[in-house]
Amino acid sequence: MAERICQPITVCPHCLSNSKAVKTNQVTRMYREAVYRCNNIECGAVFKVAMTPISMISPSAIPHEEVVLPVSKQSNSAQKQLDFTTEGETA
């Protein structure tokens, strides 16, 4: 089975159409910027978004000392859902 690459769906702040990431840049370990282009040709907006992790759903097996994030209150239910979803992929 081919690996699926998931791209976050981001809507255009002007026309609310889906947009596609055209460029990303990892600025620091905890901060990434991405440039998105609106899919609506009548709009044509190009905009930058900022991405940063805000909490941990599942802890890392190889944590980095500079990364300090709170554990999400939803971590147990989210991890159970993730485990359930990945079980079907291994079959």
Same domain, 34 and 67: no
Shared domain check, 27 and 15: yes
Do residues 1 and 42 both lie within one domain?
A: yes
The span from the CA of 87 to the CA of 80, in Å, is: 11
Same domain? 57 vs 47:
no
Q: How many angstroms separate the CA atoms of 59 and 28, rounded?
A: 20
Residues 38 and 72 in one domain: no
User: Do both 63 and 40 map to the same domain?
Assistant: no
Q: What is the DSSP string of the chain?
A: -PPPPP---EE-TTT--EEEEEEEEEEETTEEEEEEEES-TTT--EEEEEE----BSS--SS--TT---PBPTTHHHHHHHHHHHHHHHH-
The CB density around residue 7, as the number of other CB atoms within 10 Å, is 8
Same domain, residue pair 67 and 89: yes
Verify that 25 and 67 share a domain, yes or no: no
Average pLDDT, the chain: 84
For the segment 26-39, what is each residue's pLDDT rounded down to a tens digit? 999 999 999 999 99
Q: Are 74 and 43 in the same domain?
A: no
> Could you report the per-residue pLDDT of 56-79, keeping only the tens digit for each?
998 889 999 999 999 888 765 555
Q: Give the chain's domain count.
A: 2
Give the residue numbers spanning the domain of 36: 1-52
- Cα gap 71→85, rounded to integer Å: 21
Is residue 45 domain-shared with residue 21, that is, in the same domain?
Answer: yes
pTM above 0.85, yes or no: no
